[in-house]
Amino acid sequence: MNPTPEDPVPTAPPAQVKRPRLHLSLVWLVPLIAAVVGLSLLVNAWLSVGPTIEISFESATGLEAGKTPVKYKDVVIGSVKSIALQRDLSRVNVTVELRKDAARFAREGSRFWVVRPRIGAGGISGIDTVLSGAYIGVDSEAQGDDQYEFQGLETPPSVIKGTPGKSFELHADDLGSLDIGSPVLFRRIQVGQVTGYKLDSDGQGVTLQIFVFAPNDAFVTTDSRFWNASGVDVSIGAEGLQVDSQSLATVVSGGIAFATPEDSAETAKPAPADSRFSLASSQKQALAKPDGAPRLLRMRFDQTMRGLTENAPVEFFGINIGHVRSVRLEYDAPRHRFPVVVDAVIYPDRLEGISEKRGPNDKDDTPTFLVPLVAKGLRAQARTGNLLTGQLYIAIDFIPNAPPVAFNPAARPLTMPTVRSSLEDLQQQVASIVTKVEKIPFDDIGRNANASIVELNKTLKNVNEGVLPEFRTTLQGTQQTLDNANRMLSENGHLQQDLGQTLDALQRSAWSLRQLTELLGRHPESLLRGRGAGSAQPAPAPVIPPMAPPAQQEKAR
């Protein structure tokens, strides 16, 4: 079985041996390179790991450990490593591993918030996170001490730090319908946002932070006026119904508008950042001239002040110079009366120009210039502003024939003499008229009138039944008589002819009588002697009266 070893050996040529140039095989470079690569990856991973920070949130809605990224300006700068509840279960601690190059975010002043889809009145935000899932947003001031524990914001800040622009502070009486993110409008263009608000420490007002983006922040000047542009401003005035609003968005969600009054627009300089302004409740109020120092004015009225409310206007010749601050009742013991004491705040500066000309008598703040005016009849009077609602306002006016009163310009508060309101007088007059009217015995008058009417009725009945038929027959008789007369008087009637002849005869008689008269005038003796020689000549032809018809004249001859 054993083959002879010599058998194959002679035929087998010796195998060649190639000696390597290097003692160590090159193949060992492969694990070396692998090790270098692995090490470099390790070092790279170790180097790229930045600080680990902890952020606490109200809830971890939308956050996922190991997945949720942390983004700054949409660049991933880290990711959530783990999410754990705090020991007292009140909040959630989110552990975030930042990248090495984002270590600057682990500093004081950094703000973290969760970006998730939000729908508010001001719009929809974070819509991209509907599909990609929530992420943690961050902004930082990039200065400050290192900090590794943060309290996350529950709502995203409306303005990210580092955005060009300026922030300002507004002081308002209340917040109104404003909220974080409400627009700030300039000429109805949105130029900024409300970024925050807080109650004043004394609880007397609200301070709002707004941010106006560059370059429009230059329009906020030291003289700019801000007002709450929320909702719709409806006013009824002499011009009719006016509806004013800034934009539809502000109607729904509120907003702030600002403007610089035109008369100061040229001199005003851009306001420095963090300037404080006050927030007026309406555009009218905001753009009104500054009121200056208020003065207290006291008035005592001996009449009811029903309808006079606080903030009712005080007008001087129709110009609003102030408003009523309080209305209260006093008891005047010696006179046994209840005067109504009205305290009003007036702003003398509203009478711009006039207050400057009133004279140099204001040295000790005593309005002595009022003394002659009061002597001339300057009085306060409560007048009806609205006949429907009975609202009163205070008018300061010259009242003719006002009884003179004592006036002390140095009294504090300054007490303005008053007169009863014109409407009050009118009311009294009307009342006296009404009492007089009431005295008239309408009942008796009514009864008498009724009896008279019954009598009249009877009389009429008699007239209808008895008088009228007789009257009718009388009329018929009259008609006949008239007919007869007519017939008699007609042209060819015998009466006419007789009348003509009678007239002729009468004319002739008259002529004869005249001849006789003339004869007697010339020859009065003829009455005794008859016709003499002197009277032989014939008498002149008689003047025939023109009315006599010629035919009859001929006939008469």
Strand extents, DSSP E, 347-447: 378-386, 391-398, 414-416, 418-419
State in angstroms the smallest separation of the CB of 17 from another protein: 4
State in angstroms the smallest separation of the CB of 7 from another protein: 9
Q: What is the footprint of another protein within residues 195-224 (CB under 8 A)? A: none
State in angstroms the smallest separation of the CB of 35 from another protein: 5
Nearest Cα to 292, choosing from 202, 229, 200, 356? 356
Q: How many residues make contact with another protein (CB under 8 A)?
A: 34
Whichever of 31 and 144 has its CB closer to another protein, that residue is 31
Distance of CA 16 to the CA centre of its chain: 113
d(CA 223, CA 269): 8
Residue 14 binds another protein (CB under 8 A): yes
State in angstroms the smallest separation of the CB of 140 from another protein: 24
Residue 16 binds another protein (CB under 8 A): yes
Q: How far is CA 150 from CA 62, 78, 94, 180, in A?
A: 19, 15, 10, 22
Which of 9, 236, 238, 437 is close enough to bind another protein by CB under 8 A?
9
Whichever of 9 and 243 has its CB closer to another protein, that residue is 9
State in angstroms the smallest separation of the CB of 115 from another protein: 13
Which of 74, 101, 108, 128 is close enough to bind another protein by CB under 8 A?
128
Residue 25 binds another protein (CB under 8 A): yes
Residue 20 binds another protein (CB under 8 A): yes
Whichever of 41 and 84 has its CB closer to another protein, that residue is 41
Which part of the chain contacts another protein (CB under 8 A), choosing from 30-38, 284-292, 345-353, 478-486?
Answer: 30-38
The CA dihedral of 441, 446, 451, 453, to the nearest 10 degrees, is: 140
State in angstroms the smallest separation of the CB of 134 from another protein: 11
Residue 311 binds another protein (CB under 8 A): no
Which of 3, 237, 318, 446 is close enough to bind another protein by CB under 8 A?
3
Whichever of 19 and 557 has its CB closer to another protein, that residue is 19
Residues 69, 79 contacting (CB under 8 angstroms): yes
State in angstroms the smallest separation of the CB of 36 from another protein: 9
Which of 47, 131, 434, 543 is close enough to bind another protein by CB under 8 A?
131
Long-range contacts of 425-429 (CB under 8 A, 24+ apart): none
Residue 5 binds another protein (CB under 8 A): yes
Residue 127 binds another protein (CB under 8 A): no
Residue 124 binds another protein (CB under 8 A): no
- The residues, ordered by sequence, that sit 6+ positions from 496 with a Cβ below 8 Å of its Cβ are 489, 490
d(CA 312, CA 386): 12
Which part of the chain contacts another protein (CB under 8 A), choosing from 22-30, 88-96, 340-348, 513-521?
Answer: 22-30
* DSSP-derived pairing of the beta strands 313-316 and 189-199: unpaired
Whichever of 49 and 199 has its CB closer to another protein, that residue is 49
d(CA 143, CA 149): 16
Residue 31 binds another protein (CB under 8 A): yes
State in angstroms the smallest separation of the CB of 144 from another protein: 32
Q: Map residue 553 onto helix, strand or coil.
A: helix
- The residues, ordered by sequence, that sit 6+ positions from 331 with a Cβ below 8 Å of its Cβ are 337, 338
The CA dihedral of 508, 514, 520, 526, to the nearest 10 degrees, is: -20
Residue 133 binds another protein (CB under 8 A): yes
Residue 1 binds another protein (CB under 8 A): yes
Residue 43 binds another protein (CB under 8 A): no
Q: How far is CA 181 from CA 68, 163, 257, 481, in A?
A: 26, 15, 14, 112
d(CA 374, CA 405): 8
Q: What is the footprint of another protein within residues 51-70 (CB under 8 A)? A: 67
Helical H runs in 417-493? Answer: 422-439, 442-462, 468-489
- Contacts with another protein, residue ranges (CB under 8 A): 1-3, 5, 8-9, 11-20, 23, 25, 27-28, 30-35, 37-38, 41, 67, 128, 131-133
